[in-house]
Amino acid sequence: MRLFFILLNRELKAFFYSPVAYVVMFCFLMLTGTNFYIAVSLLNRGPSDVTVVEAFFNSVPSWICILLVCPIISMRLFSEEFKLGTIEPLMTAPVHDWQVVLSKFFGALIFYVILWTPSAFYFPLFEWVTKAHAAWSPGAYLGSYTFILLIGMFYISIGCLASVFTSNQIIAAILALAATILLFLFGLVSFFVLNITAAFRDLIGYFSSIEHMAGFSRGVFDTRPIALYVSATALILAVTYQIFQSRKWRM
């Protein structure tokens, strides 16, 4: 465990030593700020049954941010090490493979959490300015950010998997992007395809990230999506670990 934390520390430093981190943070903040503006403007048009929190998190710009940022922050995790050859001193030090994989995953996840942290100021700011509530209950804030964490975990694990396949960061990013967008669209199938049975529609509903986000941003802690995302993340990380280990046999 000690080694895991040493590796994790190095991963976080690696993020912040690279200019990519600052560019991503800046652009992300611009996007979330714009998103907030758009959300409030839309609500200004007339009465609505969505709260500011839901309008902010379950909106097009927000989903675009999530879908784009996860592959971008995870593309370099393994690919860069393979390309530079620094995987060699890493793997010849007395560390376990699982420590390496998990430290990279959690490093990216912590960076992702740092990216979203400033958005938490928008709602108190809104409430201070308008003297109105941004959500019906405090559970909404907790729910929204929990879901942001869950979906981030899942998409970053996909990014890790894509990264471990190749030493080319662009390929890793494209693979991760394609996979996350396809998975996201899978949850929207019921909007595109009309002649499906009600049972199938329900089934898709369980996988629909947008529906999950809607629920969580109202403060509804449905354990089914939690189980889905945690287990899916674990599965993908397990596959990542296997592929990482198998690399040395394919050299």
Partner 1 sequence: MIKVENLSKRYAGITAINNISFQVDRGEIVGFLGPNGAGKSTTMRILSSFMPASSGRASIAGCDVFENSLEARSHLGYMPENVPLYTDMRVTEYLNYRAALKGVRGRRIRERVGDVKELCNLKDVENKVIGTLSKGYRQRVGLADALVHDPDLLILDEPTIGLDPNQIRQVRELIKNLGKRHTILLSTHILPEVEMTCSRVIIINKGRIEASDTPQNLLSQLRTAGGVRLEAKVGNDNGIEILSKITGVKDVSVEKEGDWNTFLLRVDANSDLREEIFRLSVERKWAVRELSRRKATLEDVFVEITHADA
- Is position 1 an interface residue for partner 1 (rule: CB under 8 A)? no
User: Which stretch, 5-13, 70-78, 137-145, 235-243, contacts partner 1 (CB under 8 A)?
Assistant: 5-13
- Residue of the chain from 45, 46, 60, 89 that contacts partner 1 (CB under 8 A): 89
Q: What are phi and psi of 41, to 5 degrees?
A: -60, -40
Q: Residue 191 in contact with residue 112, Cβ under 8 Å?
A: no
Q: Is the separation of the CB atoms in 143 and 219 below 8 Å?
A: yes
Tell me how many residues contact partner 1 (CB under 8 A): 22
Write down the least CB distance from residue 3 to partner 1, Å. Answer: 7
Binding residue (CB under 8 A) for partner 1 from 23, 93, 125, 220: 93
Tokens of 35: 């998103």
Q: Does 91 bind partner 1 (CB under 8 A)?
A: yes
Q: How far is the CB of 80 from partner 1 (least distance, A)?
A: 10
Site mask for partner 1 (CB under 8 A), range 12-51, x = bound: -xx--xx---------------------------------
Q: How far is CA 230 from the centre of its chain?
A: 12
User: Identity (one letter) of the amino acid at 95?
Assistant: V
Q: Candidates 22, 37, 42, 88: give the one binding partner 1 (CB under 8 A).
A: 88
**Which of 41, 48, 96, 224: binder of partner 1 (CB under 8 A)?**
96
Helix (H), strand (E) counts: the chain: 14, 0
Does 94 participate in binding partner 1 (rule CB under 8 A)?
yes
Q: Contact between 137 and partner 1 (CB under 8 A)?
A: no
DSSP secondary-structure letter at 152? H
Shortest Å, Cβ 134 to partner 1: 40
- CA pair distance 175, 234, nearest whole angstrom: 19
From the list 23, 84, 220, 238, which residue makes contact with partner 1 (rule: CB under 8 A)? 84
Burial annotation 186-221 (CB, 10 A radius, 16+ → b, else e): ebebbeeeeeeeeeeeeebeebbbebbbbbbbbbee
The reply to whether 121 sits near partner 1 by the rule CB under 8 A is no
d(CA 66, CA 189): 19
The residue behind tokens 């894509």 is 162
Contact, 53 vs 140, CB < 8 A?
Answer: yes
**Identity (one letter) of the amino acid at 85?**
G
Site residues for partner 1 per CB under 8 A: 3, 6-7, 10, 13-14, 17-18, 84-86, 88-89, 91-96, 248-249, 251
